Amino acid sequence: MARIAVIGAGSWGTALAVLMAGNGHQIRLWSHDPEQVAALLDAGENRTFLPGIELPETIRPTASLAAALADANGVLVAVPSQFFGDVLGALAPVLPPEMGVLWATKGFDPESGQLLHELVLERTGQRALAVLSGPSFAGEVARGLPTAVTLAATSMAFAEQCAAWVRSERFRAYTHDDLIGVQVGGAAKNVLAIATGIADGLGFGANTRAALITRGLAELIRLGAALGARRETFMGLGGLGDLVLTCTDDQSRNRRLGLALARGETTSVALAAIGQEVEGVVTARAVHRMAREHRIEMPISEQVHAVLYEGQTPEAATRQLLERSNRAELD
């Protein structure tokens, strides 16, 4: 059994901590907020982000990174992408040089647009890397509902080590070697989930939803190919699987944001009502920047950016998409 430091006590970090504790591992669950740590210890559950899920006794919350890493065999980072770089910087002094890093964060660095593996290497030095991604709502994982994800790593040995921490009778972790593709799929699909939420909120129906998912997949593939990913990666759990999940179920915060925007709410009001990080908001900026830099056509993502940052209304964004000139589907 392993001793694993889980960095981030939001819904996803807590769910993965519960999963791994259920597999018999000893977990140190780190939060930057001492008050949250006190609340976790007092309530025995994460009432803010994952209410109703009891924390096993083998999960020990802490606000100290040094304590979280003490005697640890592994580390899993699960913080929002906009805080990922800062957390890595704080983690680096207490991270053993031989320890690989696994993360379950989906996004790009909002300042540089870098993929997260680039940030890990930049902030913590050369080491084994792995990312866990795929169609997985935190609440369902914590409740033990059957889930399948993908775990991509720089080596299959490290992929198998990390997969062994999370695999259970109800949680399948398939290993993969396309670290770039799995990251791109997990990040950029959040932008497309906002688009699908907008379309559904405007009452456009199932045909439109299917079209957005399919054409959105084409955008993921184009972006991934430009960044060095393999096209077939996007046909798996880390691509199509995650895209379908976030575009079709209201557990998705990104989809709920789109629904709110279609009702005429402002982004700030909608985000306040959701009450948690909505990764697609910051990811839309990064995707917009990369599409421009690599001269990639990503019309759906472009219109989401226009709605979030350029004052475009959802109705006008829809018209822009509908009025595009016809083209061959596989172009």
In whole angstroms, give the CA distance from residue 5 to residue 76. Answer: 6
State the Rg of the chain over Cα. 19
Amino acid of residue 46: N
Which residues share a beta bridge with 3?
26
- H or E stretch covering 173: strand 171-176
What is the rounded end-to-end Cα distance, in angstroms, of the chain? 50
In whole angstroms, give the CA distance from residue 28 to residue 5. Answer: 5
In whole angstroms, give the CA distance from residue 300 to residue 315. Answer: 13
Helices (H), 202-322: 205-227, 242-248, 253-262, 267-274, 279-294, 299-309, 314-322
Q: Using an 8 Å Cβ cutoff, are 152 and 182 in contact?
A: yes
**Contacts of residue 27, Cβ cutoff 8 Å, sequence gap at least 6:** 3, 4, 5, 6, 17, 20, 21, 58, 59, 60
Q: Write the DSSP assignment of 13-78 as a string of letters.
A: HHHHHHHHHHTT-EEEEE-S-HHHHHHHHHHSEETTTEEEEEPPTTEEEES-HHHHHTT-SEEEE-
Q: Is 106 a catalytic residue?
A: no
Considering the candidates 28, 106, 117, 189, report the single residue annotated as catalytic. Answer: 189
What residues are annotated to the active site? 189
